[in-house]
């Protein structure tokens, strides 16, 4: 048997090495631009804006928020994504401020600036303390913080602290001092280790001018395409529930059996009325056979016709009622797996309301698809890629939160026409992918982190896309007002 590593050719190895070096170059380039922005800043507000808007790109964070506390008072948000005026009462902002306050309450007073805790992918960094005003940077990431990213983040806030201190002490000397700090802020070990390789990669990229793939982040859930949702057909009591969560069923298996006192009472009344009408009709037929009077015969025939119509109506009602009684037994329509939490405790012996959801049955061979939410500010890139006539090229790469080590890919199938406001106060649009097979068993509704490939764009735009979008919107708003 031949080892799979022996089948990798030299060009493939060179291509993989080139891609890794390209990623290193992009990271250093973005850090260099951010350090220059902080170095050339003439006010603390410009430094705060640079940290909030440009730091997430090189540090591979999702969002950033710069906060400040004056003389142990409440924390306030200075600036965030986009540099726009923040709503201090927004749930997302308040959640971030509470995280920052909790971090500083748990941190010792003599902890040096630039250290942080790494909890639930949220990183809090102390930037500076000037005139009893403490400034902090809060970064949220979709992935855990690696030691390398933490080292770069600490180097960045140390440089920002140096520039802020220089502005507070002597604004006229900040440019030279910050430039000297910027030259030495990147970790020396990182620069020495990759210097020669990065030079070769830089020459190759400058000659080739290869653009990068623009990937838009998205988050959502993994859902089966085919599932049977069971609802209570009538109000009643659960008398039998032979299945539980994860139970395998076959077509025709009983899932739930209900009892409805109202239907049983209606059935008893209906059968009584039907028996009474049939008995009365039999009596009239016997009386009509014995009677010879014309007047009595006409009266009997009229009542007989009325009783026959009543019996026909009661028979029809009994048929409908019988169907309703039969619907109290819910059966599986296909082979699959029962999905439902605490079914026995929640339903057995308890009253149900008509239309109440009981459980799901996921088909055994059902394909799965992704239901993802994309921010409205990023949707235009996805729409452009989806409507350019090459829909098959719109690839969605994803991994589930239960199996983050297994990355998979599928294709974009549809984009929703309406946007909804999520609990964090952000406008999101739902997109759906085509069905994709799974290599491991998953449960419906498992969380998914994904990225949508929207074509190639210039390197500078991919790195500073959010800053370009903010600048574009700012120009358009100035043109309107």
Cα dist. 75→69, 78, 86, 104, 165 in Å? 5, 9, 13, 11, 21
The pLDDT of residue 466: 77
**Which among 378, 395, 400, 406 has a CA at the least distance from the CA of 452?**
395
How far is residue 149's CA from residue 127's CA, in Å, rounded to a whole number? 16
Report the chain's terminal Cα–Cα distance, integer Å. Answer: 71
Label residues 401-435 b or e (16+ Cβ within 10 Å = b): eeeeeeebebebbebeeebeeeeeeeebbbbbbbe
- The CATH classification of domain 216-224+367-457, taken from the options 2.40.30.170, 3.40.630.10, 3.20.20.80, 2.60.120.10: 2.40.30.170
User: Domain boundaries in the chain?
Assistant: 4-211, 216-224+367-457, 227-362
The pLDDT of residue 256: 92
Residue written as token pair 């014995």: 290
In order along the chain (481 residues), what is the average pLDDT of each group of 10 residues? 51 71 74 83 86 84 86 82 69 85 72 48 85 86 85 87 84 47 48 62 58 86 86 90 89 90 86 86 76 62 82 88 88 87 87 89 84 87 78 80 85 86 81 71 82 82 75 66 45
The pLDDT of residue 401: 86
**CATH 2.40.50.100 corresponds to the domain 227-362:** yes
The pLDDT of residue 310: 86
Residue written as token pair 């090495």: 17
The pLDDT of residue 400: 86
The pLDDT of residue 440: 54
Look up residue 58 and give its two tokens.
Answer: 């090189």
Domains 4-211 and 216-224+367-457 share a fold: no
**CATH 3.30.450 corresponds to the domain 4-211:** yes
φ/ψ of 70, rounded to 5, equals -105, 120
Residue 115 CB burial class (10 angstroms; 0-12, 13-18, ≥19): middle
Length reported for the chain: 481
The pLDDT of residue 390: 55
How far is residue 87's CA from residue 100's CA, in Å, rounded to a whole number? 17
The pLDDT of residue 421: 81
Q: Partners of 222 in the beta sheet?
A: 370, 446
């Amino acid at each position: 048997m031949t080892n799979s590593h022996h089948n990798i050719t030299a060009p493939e190895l060179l291509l993989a090495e080139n891609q890794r070096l390209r990623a290193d170059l992009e990271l250093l380039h973005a850090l260099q631009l951010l350090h220059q922005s902080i170095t050339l800043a003439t006010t603390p507000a410009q430094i705060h804006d640079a940290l909030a808007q440009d730091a997430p790109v090189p540090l591979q964070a999702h969002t950033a928020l710069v906060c400040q506390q004056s003389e142990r008072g409440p924390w306030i948000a200075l600036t965030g994504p986009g540099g726009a005026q923040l709503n201090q009462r927004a749930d997302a902002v308040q959640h971030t401020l509470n995280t920052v306050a909790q971090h500083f309450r748990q941190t010792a007073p003599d902890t040096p600036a630039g250290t942080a805790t790494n909890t639930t992918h949220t990183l809090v960094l102390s930037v500076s303390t000037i005139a009893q005003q403490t400034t902090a940077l809060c970064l949220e990431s979709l992935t855990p913080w690696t030691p390398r990213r933490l080292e770069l983040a600490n180097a960045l806030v140390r440089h920002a602290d140096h520039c802020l201190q220089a502005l507070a002490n002597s604004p006229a000397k900040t440019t030279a001092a910050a430039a000297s700090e910027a030259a030495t802020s990147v970790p020396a070990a990182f620069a020495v280790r990759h210097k020669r390789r990065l030079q070769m990669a830089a020459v190759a990229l400058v000659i080739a001018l290869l653009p990068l793939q623009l990937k838009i982040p998205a988050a959502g859930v993994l859902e089966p395409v085919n599932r049977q949702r069971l609802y209570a057909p009538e109000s009643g009591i659960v008398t039998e529930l032979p299945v539980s969560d994860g139970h395998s069923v076959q077509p025709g298996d009983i899932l739930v059996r209900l009892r409805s006192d109202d239907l049983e009472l209606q059935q008893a009344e209906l059968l009584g009325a039907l028996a009474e009408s049939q008995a009365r009709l039999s009596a009239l037929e016997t009386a009509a056979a014995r009677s010879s009077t014309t007047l009595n015969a006409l009266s009997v025939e009229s009542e007989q016709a009325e009783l026959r119509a009543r019996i026909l109506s009661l028979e029809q009602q009994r048929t409908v009622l019988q169907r309703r009684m039969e619907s109290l037994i819910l059966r599986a329509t296909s082979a699959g797996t029962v999905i439902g939490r605490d079914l026995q405790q929640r339903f057995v012996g308890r009253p149900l309301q008509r239309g109440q959801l009981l459980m799901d049955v996921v088909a055994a061979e059902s394909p799965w698809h992704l239901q993802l939410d994309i921010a409205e500010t990023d949707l235009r890139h996805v729409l452009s890629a989806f409507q350019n006539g090459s829909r098959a090229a719109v690839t969605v790469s994803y991994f589930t939160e239960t199996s983050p080590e297994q990355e998979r890919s599928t294709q974009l199938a549809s984009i929703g026409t309406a946007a909804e406001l999520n609990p964090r106060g952000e406008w999101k649009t739902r997109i759906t992918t085509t069905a994709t097979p799974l290599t491991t068993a998953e449960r419906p509704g498992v969380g998914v982190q994904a990225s949508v490939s929207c074509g190639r764009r210039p390197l500078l735009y991919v790195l500073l896309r959010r800053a370009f979008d903010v600048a574009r919107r700012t120009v358009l708003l100035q043109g309107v007002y």
